[in-house]
Amino acid sequence: MSDRRFDSFEEFWPFYVLEHTKPETQALHVAGTALGLTAAAAAVATRNGWLVPLGLAAAYGAAWYSHYRIENNRPASFKYPVYSFLADFKMVGRVVQGRMSDEVRAAQALANQARTIEMS
């Protein structure tokens, strides 16, 4: 994980995207987020608070599994919990819209450009 500190969500987003390049990782994040939101809605509807930790476990479990087993990296949520939470919803939206591969290409191009500038 990068030691860089991000001053804004806009700066963080390309980093987040590069930590989520594989479609399998993205799919597990979508599934985990959907399960987490479903559990949260069920907790409100049924007034059963025990569903909240179940939803968090489903959401974070799916995401963390994908990082350790698919991406082979460490979840950004450990170092950037707020930005990661927001970025997860943005990524889910991009995946559902079929636009996440465009985001990955853009982030990779930006990273390549930064490496080129550093080497000059």
The pLDDT tens digits for 14-50 are 999 999 999 999 999 999 999 999 999 999 999 999 9
The pLDDT value given to residue 5: 87
Contact present, 94 and 27 (Cβ < 8 Å): no
DSSP per-residue string spanning 73-98: S--GGGT-HHHHHHHHHHHHHHHHHT
The pLDDT value given to residue 2: 55
Residue 1 has pLDDT above 60, yes or no: no
The residue ranges of every structural domain in the chain are 9-119
At which residue do the structure tokens 């049924």 appear? 46
pTM: 0.89
